[in-house]
Structure 1
Amino acid sequence: MPHLFDTLIRCVMLLDGSGAAARMADVALRDGLIARIDESGAIDPDAAAHVVEGHGLVLSPGFIDVHTHDDTNVVRQPEMTPKLSQGVTTVIVGNCGISAAPVVLSGDPPDPMNLLGHADAFCYPDFRSYVEAVEAAQPAVNVAALVGHTALRSNQMDQLDRAATPAEIAAMRAQLEEALQHGALGLSTGLAYANAFSAPTEEVLALAEPLANAGALYATHLRSEFAEILDAMDEAFRIGRHARVPVVISHLKCAGVPNWGRSTEVLDAVDAAQRWQPVGCDCYPYTASSSTLDLKQVTSDFDIMVTWSEGAPEMGGRLLAEIAAEWQVDLHEAARRLMPAGAVYHCMEDADVDRILSHPATVVGSDGLPNDPLPHPRLWGAFPRVLGHYARDRELFPLAVAVNKMTGMSAERFGLAGRGFVREGYWADLVLFDADTIRDAASFTDPMQPAEGIAAVWVNGELSWLQRQPTGLRAGRFLPRGPRPAA
């Protein structure tokens, strides 16, 4: 006799992703979906082909990493171990103006698109071809995608240190519209980077105009996260109002020692904008950032660790100050010799991260760089760190709130229909974890370490991770933009 359910997860403390308190329940899965949630213990274990005993463990929706640079890795390294191992079941790619599609290169990828790989990684001239590649690769996690402004600029412009012409903007818009037709979530910008910084606000205003009709959004790495951050936020809000779409501020932070302590006024600006338009932000749970080595961020105010260098590969893993002293040059000259290169910047303070992470508008994104040979530990540890360090150990917010910031709120913000909640009829993206032991094991010196306390992960109903090991099943799929709740 056939079983009624494929899997029964019994006697778990269920956090359903809504922010509601945990409750004891059994959860049954069938055909990739959550078929039944029962709090009475009435589901017969014999009705399921597989039974998982969850006594003492928490079951929550799979975590949604809203800010990633996994664009090429979901195809080239589809096992996605850094994310699956920490309970992430969906990644959103295409952030910071950087996307794998649509891209046509005539040479090496411009900074910071080189964070996604070398030229051979960019083989998707239109968004549809990227969707098809993700589906063919069948990664271990689901994938949803933004379209990067810098990627569009590199397709249409002969040089990036100027404003786009009306004809170039029209060509970029046509590529964006094709992507929206094939399920892209929206447009992202990285206006702080040199290859987008010359784009005036008017260029982005014009490019963003097709977003509203598609139900899409605008996500931005602000033009400045330093002294001019409030002006940069005003620019983002203006773009959202003009385009009539929600705004997501990527990895909101107060960077640089002179900026420390300004998180209160920064968050006040978010609150003020929310009175007139939908605005949210994401944050990673660390006081260090990571990106390409950028002369504008080179300073002696805090430690800067070089993670890779094409100019001097042997210097990867060393502090910029140590390299400069060894070469007997100043920091900026050392950085020039190292470039192109990657770096970790210890540029934030704990109090600001606490305020931003705990704000009601904030969801969690790792911003991990999977192609960095010495990645920031957020690549492997961001989500367990929120649950262990911030929710349990520091008691910055309740566990249910932490889970909501990593699941339900993220799914609603980005229009991921049927995801982010443990509800009957929703997709069975689930993580089973021990609330008492979950923690990030990755460190700055040893970053490629799977988290502790993750017992099991299901993606679209398939058991994909079990007791610190992948099962070999890869059940991820491309997620097109879905219906967005009314603002």
Structure 2
Amino acid sequence: MPAHEVRPTPVRTAITHTRVLDGTGNPEYLGDIVLESGIIAGIFPAGSFKDDGATVLIDGAGLVACPGFIDLRGSSDTAPLTDPARHSALTQGVTTEVLGQAGANCAPLTDASASLLRHHLAGMDQDWADRDVEWRTVGQYLDHLDSGTGTNTAYLVPRNAVRNLATGSPADAPGAQQLVAEVKAMADALEQGAVGLSSSAPVATATPAETAELEALCAAVGAYGGYWAPTLDSLAGPVTESATRSVGLAAKTGVPVHLTHLAADSAGAAGLLTVLDRALKAGVDLSCDSHPYLENPGMLASLLPGWARDGQDEDVLARLDDPETVARISSDMEASDVDWDALTIAFVGSGQLAMLVGQSIARIAAIQSSDPVTTLVRILHTDSLATGVLYAAGTEEDLRAILVHRTHTGAGVGFGSDTAGHPGVWGSFPRFVGGLSREAKAMDLPAVIHQLTGRPARRLRLSNRGVLAVGNAADVLVFDPDAIIDMATFADPRQPAAGINHVFVNGVPAVSEHQPTSALAGRALRRGPEGTTQFI
């Protein structure tokens, strides 16, 4: 198959004598699965399919067939724009990614924010130096994605994108008239196919204007049948407090809430999960996600106080260049409970800082005879905020408790770039299956597969994906249950997973006999008028 072929014609394929896990959580059964014209054309008792000479046959004996994995915290918005083949996702069995929670805002755009996005893209992919960002609306962005990606994609609108559209700056909370414009922009995005809203979790110090803004946006999203995905960043503050504020706002506005990047902090997981259980008992429509590693990737800038990181990069850098503002930052951070020894530099944007990679902030501060906050500010200023970090969150017991919770869905690490230095970019989903089920025996295989397929499909309200059923889209994964595991490590993070034999996206082979095909068979999935999500 030619490299990067867009929407190649699906070939009739039969996966025979395979162990079928349909994504519902029900027990497995043996069957023959026939894929034709991009859909699941039939599921028959094992051995009943007869070779007609016109069908590609895959011997599934001893292998498991299940729906393709769904990553509700996909890579950054820009990953499909700079890496349309999406090998890092497909080789771990992911066929659908939700964008809009990390990286640059991709839609809706003003002319000014489109120029900033183009500059950002050109920094990652030189091809964008000679291209323009031609879209402005969410609908146009989804059209662009639909012109060629390896995975299916859905889009959450970042709060800062609609704020920028209404106020001219993501740093400015809207006034009354601007809030009307912001809600209108959110409604337009939902009508054009967005599946919901993403934002940081609400903070205790939010102004009345900021609180009113988030409540109005969430109410609009709920009315359209979308969902809200607040990110719980343990670097930015106590996670249990963030979760409490998030579920409280969801209860007040009626919006379904998906807590993104759920990870314990030094307080542990027990109190955090109690917040979730109480919310469920109160009737809140709630789900969450996390990746299966203790080590989390993040941006060093996220440790700054919220007020200090508002706005565009140039706004933040200007604050870091002002001694009085830096003194205020230092004062605000003195009480922060950061383990500087556990916070290590994962990647940098500037070559002159390359010697810092792998070093802890505490060690760098000691070498520089400085304090950790001053060291942090210096690094951010020199690196133009491009510094990434790795940090441990909670304990193995905390992580296990979150992963087995009844609201949990599996997710990737949320970083699209291999420079993140995190093995989860290539290995999160096989680690769920091989580590959580086969090795740790914390969950049975049908339950783990349900977490990665049927449960996230329900959150997205996918009309025909996430479950193996006749008539559904042929997003299908075939894997070896005895071999599936992540192979990527922190020392060598660009390693495809083991045990992924075949992956089909809309009936087209995306991985064949363990090797990616580079076929661009993915579709942009849009929230429809009835609230369900599909490609149109």
Q: Contact 2:17–2:46 (CA<8 Å) still a contact in 1?
A: no
| Equivalent position SS for 1:476 | coil
CA distance in 1 between counterparts of 2:370 and 2:135 reads: 42
Counterpart position of 1:41:
47
How far is the alpha carbon of 1:194 from its aligned partner? 13
Instruction: Determine if the alignment matches structure 1 residue 299 to structure 2 residue 307.
Output: no
Distance 1:419 1:399, change over 3 A: same
Counterpart position of 1:135:
146
Instruction: Determine if the alignment matches structure 1 residue 83 to structure 2 residue 123.
Output: no
When structure 1 is superposed on structure 2, of 91-100 and 175-184 the one drifting more is: 91-100
Counterpart position of 1:454:
500
Q: Contact 1:14–1:22 (CA<8 Å) still a contact in 2?
A: yes
When structure 1 is superposed on structure 2, of 37-46 and 93-102 the one drifting more is: 93-102
Counterpart position of 1:174:
184
Distance 1:110 1:300, change over 3 A: farther
Q: Contact 1:7–1:49 (CA<8 Å) still a contact in 2?
A: yes
Counterpart position of 1:328:
369
CA distance in 2 between counterparts of 1:41 and 1:10 reads: 7
Counterpart position of 1:146:
156
What whole-Å deviation, never above 9, does each CA across 1:75-134 have from its counterpart, x for those lacking one?
3321001101100000001126964111336479999x9799779796642101201110
How far is the alpha carbon of 1:309 from its aligned partner? 3.6
What whole-Å deviation, never above 9, does each CA across 1:393-443 have from its counterpart, x for those lacking one?
011101111100000111011111100011111001011111111110111
Counterpart position of 1:415:
461
How far is the alpha carbon of 1:373 from its aligned partner? 1.6
Distance 1:94 1:422, change over 3 A: same
- Matches for 1:53-452 after TM superposition, within 5 Å: 53-95=59-101, 99-104=105-110, 106=112, 124-136=135-147, 138-157=148-167, 160-161=170-171, 163-191=173-201, 200-222=210-232, 228-255=238-265, 257=266, 259=267, 261=268, 263-275=269-281, 276-293=283-300, 294-296=302-304, 299-300=339-340, 302-310=342-350, 312-315=352-355, 317-321=357-361, 322-339=363-380, 340=385, 341-371=387-417, 373-452=419-498
CA distance in 2 between counterparts of 1:463 and 1:310 reads: 39
CA distance in 2 between counterparts of 1:195 and 1:338 reads: 26
Q: Contact 2:102–2:414 (CA<8 Å) still a contact in 1?
A: no
CA distance in 1 between counterparts of 2:297 and 2:197 reads: 22
What whole-Å deviation, never above 9, does each CA across 1:182-209 have from its counterpart, x for those lacking one?
1111111114799999973222001222
Q: Contact 2:12–2:54 (CA<8 Å) still a contact in 1?
A: yes
Runs of 5+ unmatched residues, structure 1: none
CA distance in 2 between counterparts of 1:191 and 1:93 reads: 17
Matched to 1:50, the amino acid is V
CA distance in 2 between counterparts of 1:422 and 1:376 reads: 31
CA distance in 1 between counterparts of 2:17 and 2:206 reads: 51
Distance 1:107 1:457, change over 3 A: closer
Matched to 2:175, the amino acid is T
CA distance in 1 between counterparts of 2:240 and 2:303 reads: 22
Distance 1:299 1:342, change over 3 A: same
Instruction: Determine if the alignment matches structure 1 residue 468 to structure 2 residue 514.
Output: yes
Distance 1:336 1:116, change over 3 A: farther
Distance 1:334 1:453, change over 3 A: same
When structure 1 is superposed on structure 2, of 29-38 and 365-374 the one drifting more is: 365-374
Instruction: Determine if the alignment matches structure 1 residue 50 to structure 2 residue 56.
Output: yes
Q: Structure 2 length normalisation: TM-score?
A: 0.82
CA distance in 2 between counterparts of 1:326 and 1:445 reads: 24
Q: Contact 1:97–1:151 (CA<8 Å) still a contact in 2?
A: no
Q: Structure 1 length normalisation: TM-score?
A: 0.89
CA distance in 1 between counterparts of 2:190 and 2:40 reads: 29
| Equivalent position SS for 1:210 | helix
Aligned residues: 476
Distance 1:291 1:449, change over 3 A: same
Q: Contact 1:69–1:116 (CA<8 Å) still a contact in 2?
A: no
| Equivalent position SS for 2:378 | helix
Matched to 1:44, the amino acid is K
How far is the alpha carbon of 1:343 from its aligned partner? 1.1
Q: Which has the higher contact order (CA 8 A, sep 6+)?
A: 2
Q: Contact 2:422–2:490 (CA<8 Å) still a contact in 1?
A: yes
When structure 1 is superposed on structure 2, of 27-36 and 306-315 the one drifting more is: 306-315
> Kindly, what percent of the aligned residue pairs are identical?
31
Distance 1:411 1:188, change over 3 A: same
| Equivalent position SS for 1:456 | strand
How far is the alpha carbon of 1:445 from its aligned partner? 1.8
Matched to 2:377, the amino acid is R
Q: Contact 1:366–1:383 (CA<8 Å) still a contact in 2?
A: yes
| Equivalent position SS for 2:154 | strand
Matched to 2:12, the amino acid is D
Q: Contact 1:98–1:189 (CA<8 Å) still a contact in 2?
A: no
Distance 1:345 1:219, change over 3 A: same
How far is the alpha carbon of 1:468 from its aligned partner? 3.1
Matched to 1:290, the amino acid is P
Matched to 2:93, the amino acid is G
Distance 1:110 1:303, change over 3 A: farther
How far is the alpha carbon of 1:371 from its aligned partner? 2.8
Matched to 2:347, the amino acid is T
